[in-house]
A and B are shown apart, each in its own frame.
Chain A
Amino acid sequence: MIAGKLVDLRAPEMGDLARNTRWINDREVTQFLSVRYELSSAAEEAWLRDVVSAPMSFERPFFAIETKDGAHIGNTNLFDVRPEDRVAEMGIMIGEKPYWSRGYGSDAVRTLLRFAFDEMNLHRVQLFTYSFNHRAIAAYRKCGFVEEGRRRGARYRQGRHHDFIVMAVLRDEWRLRPDA
């Protein structure tokens, strides 16, 4: 378990299935994710079983986000981890909406960054987000991510095209931050 201030990151378990399925089919949650279609609980189960069955490693670090009271409120992960470049892409979902905008997501991101830089020895963590996801962009910025550019009109959601924003944080600049 990787301890943050408000949350802990733990290994995912099959017991997370019902919550994951509920979140991934909640349009309010998925409007900000790359998920577009509904997902059956069977498909979600197969996916989760695949994730939890293999020992967690450099290739696929995937964490459940828990509050200090043990409430599972979302998931966060690193993917496309490239050992030579020491670069990974980050994903996060706070599925429990009552926990939105209260610092839980930011704390999970900070905790994941610390793990990525101090334990996995990565050099850069990057992410992509929709230009309309202002809440997330502000939170990422607070965590040290810098907006590097936008892929114009790269994603189509809710009837129109949106820019896809590239944000990244480098270890050297992250190390200078008080929350590092």
Chain B
Amino acid sequence: MIAGKLVNLRAREFGDAERNARWSSDRELLALTGHRYPQSLAAIKPAVRGYASEPLSHADPRFAIETKDGVYIGNIRLSDVSSDDRHAQLSIMIGERSYWSKRYGSDAVRTLLRFAFREMNLHRVELYVYATNARAIAAYQKCGFVQEGIRRRAYYSRGVWVDVIVMSALACEWSEEAR
């Protein structure tokens, strides 16, 4: 378990599947995280069993986000981890809406960034976010992410094309104290 201030990051467990299926039926949440199609429990279960069965490693680090009381509220992961370039892409979803806007997400991002830089020895962590998602952009900035540019009208969601903002945090700029 990787301890943050408000949350802990733990390995994914098979028992997460039911909650994941519930989150997968939340349209607004899906739209924010770039997913389109609701997924059946039958499709989610083998995927979660797959994550839970493999020891976590450099290749596909996926974590469950738990509050300090042990409430499972979301997922966070690094994908496209390149060992040579030492970079990875971060994505996060707080599925439990009652934990939105209460800094649980930011704490999870900070905790994973610290792990990425200090334990995985990564050099760069990047993320993609809809330009319309002002709440998330502000939160990422507070965590130390810098906006690098805009991929114009790269995604289609809710009947319109949306700009996608690219942000990154570099190990050489990141200092734990400043955060």
Contacts and interface: CB of A to CB of B under 8 A. Distances in A.
A53 B158 CA distance: 26
Contact of A119 (B43, B46, B158): B158
B38 A53 contact: no
Nearest to B47: A55
A3 interface: yes
Contact of B40 (A11, A118, A121): A11
Interface in A28-76: 49, 52-57, 61, 63
Contacts of B41: 11, 13
B159 A14 contact: no
Nearest to A61: B37
Interface string A111-142: 00000011111000000000000000000000
Contacts of B38: 1-2, 9-11, 56, 63
Interface in B4-39: 24-27, 36-39
A144 interface: no
A95 interface: no
B26 A120 contact: no
A118 B158 contact: yes
A55 B37 contact: yes
Contacts of B156: 119, 121
B138 interface: no
Contacts, number: 53
Contacts of B37: 11, 55-57, 61
Interface residues of B, number: 18
Nearest to A63: B38
Given A56-B37, A57-B37, A118-B159, A11 B46 contact: no
A56 B158 contact: no
A13 B27 contact: no
Contacts of A105: none
Contact of B42 (A1, A2, A14): A14
A120 B36 contact: yes
Q: Which residue, of A9, A55, A120, has the highest number of chain B Cβ atoms within 10 A?
A: A55
Contacts of B27: 1-3
Nearest to B161: A121
A143 B46 CA distance: 38
B121 interface: no
Given A56-B38, A57-B37, A120-B36, A10 B43 contact: no
Contact of B25 (A1, A53, A120): A1
B26 A1 contact: yes
Interface of A: 1-3, 9-14, 49, 52-57, 61, 63, 117-121
Interface of B: 24-27, 36-43, 46-47, 156-159
5 contacts: A11-B40, A14-B42, A53-B46, A54-B43, A121-B156
Q: Which 5 A-B residue pairs are closest in the complex by CB-CB distance? A: A118-B159, A1-B25, A56-B37, A52-B42, A11-B40
